[in-house]
Each structure stands twice: as C-alpha cells, then as structure tokens.
Amino acid sequence: MNKTDKIKIPKLLVVATGNPGKLKEMQAYLADLDLQLQLKPEGLEIEETGETFLANARLKASQVAQITGEWAIADDSGLAVDALNGMPGVYSARYAPTDRERISRLLRELGHTTHRKAQFVCALAIADPHGTIALEVEGICPGEILDIPKGSGGFGYDPIFYIPAETMTFAEMPRELKRSLSHRGRAFQALLPQLQKLITSQKNNG
C-alpha cells in the first residue's frame, strides 16, 4: 500500500487564509457538498512567491495541507490588464497601500490609451494531506477598464472593472449577479463537479 492509498475521503478542507470573510464566501460556493471548512492555523503565513495565480494557489494549498495534515484549498486572484502586459497580476493586492491608491495608480499607468481590455482571474487549488495537488482550476471574467470609477459596491478594482454585456461595473452590480459572473464564481463552477467526482471516487475506492 502506498501513501496515497491511506488518504481519507476529504470531509474537512482547511482554507489557506486567515480572512473569515473569504471562509464564509467559500462556504457559500461549496454549500452543496458535504464538507466542513475551517481557517488555517493562526500565525501560519505562506509567502506568495509564484509568478502566476495558479502557482500561488498551488503553493498555499500544498504547504497548508502538509503543515495541518488535512486537505486544503487555496485561491489566488487579481486583475490582469492587457495594455500593461498583464499587470498588476499577482501583485494586484500589493500594487499600492489602499484600494483608492491602487485604482489611481492603475488609471495613471493606463493614461489615455483606448486599449482598455482586462480580465479578472481566480485560480483555485486543492491539495491532499501530503501536499500533492489533487485539483486545480482557473476562472476568468473578461471586461474593460473605465476612465473613472463607477459604483459604490464591491472592493478593490471593482469600480473601474466594466462588463459591457451588463453595462455595469462590478461595483454597480447586485451581489448575486456579480457572484455568478465573477472570476471567482466561474472558478468554483469549474471546481464543483471535479470535487464531487473526487469525493465519490474515493468513497467507491474505499
């Protein structure tokens, strides 16, 4: 029997974050599965050294899984702007100290260019207790960057991220509409059937 034969059916997922809001959000997306989610241990910090969203998600899931000895799920997400060669990308949250400053910097760097296409990206990774990545997906929501912010909802770059088909920014959208269209929503839509299949297959093999 090799070590993968001893892996238990995932009933608990440790979320590789210390943010209770993100835990609650993931619980909502995974509500239809028989899973318990909990925050990573307090004080456990994983440095995001990956060059892509998926690399960071893998890194966080793998390390948290190995340290806790449980299945772990991690995400990494951000905004990639075509005219800025994909920036701010994995540095989206570190582009400036506050949301307002991050938006200001982005608009300043874009200047008056008419090439405003961009996309929000969310990568999700699930690791088994040994740290091996069992599942990974990416969700992408294409849009455009406005010249000025619009809307008071959401957070981060939401006020300048415009969805032409809806004629609204993320910050102007009702919560449920944003949840269904967003990069995170699309990532979980891709993850759910794969995670259900994984749980089912392990039950059958057990």
Q: CA-CA distances (angstroms) from residue 53 to 121, 166, 188?
A: 8, 26, 15
Distance of alpha carbon 149 from alpha carbon 88, whole angstroms: 17
The CA–CA distances, whole Å, from 158 to 67, 78, 122, 128 equal 34, 11, 14, 33
Please classify residue 93 by burial: count the beta carbons closer than 10 Å to its beta carbon, then call 0-12 exposed, 13-18 middle and 19+ buried: middle
Q: Give, to the nearest 10 degrees, the angle between helix 20-29 and helix 183-205.
A: 70
**Catalytic status, residue 147:** no
All residues at 6 or more sequence positions from 56 whose CB lies less than 8 Å from its CB, including other chains = 48, 49, 50, 74, 76, 90, 123
Q: Pick the catalytic residue: 75, 76, 128, 158? A: 76
Using an 8 Å Cβ cutoff, are 165 and 111 in contact? no
How far apart, in Å, are the Cα atoms of 41 and each of 20, 63, 140, 182, 199?
A: 12, 12, 30, 28, 24
Mind telling me the catalytic residues? 76
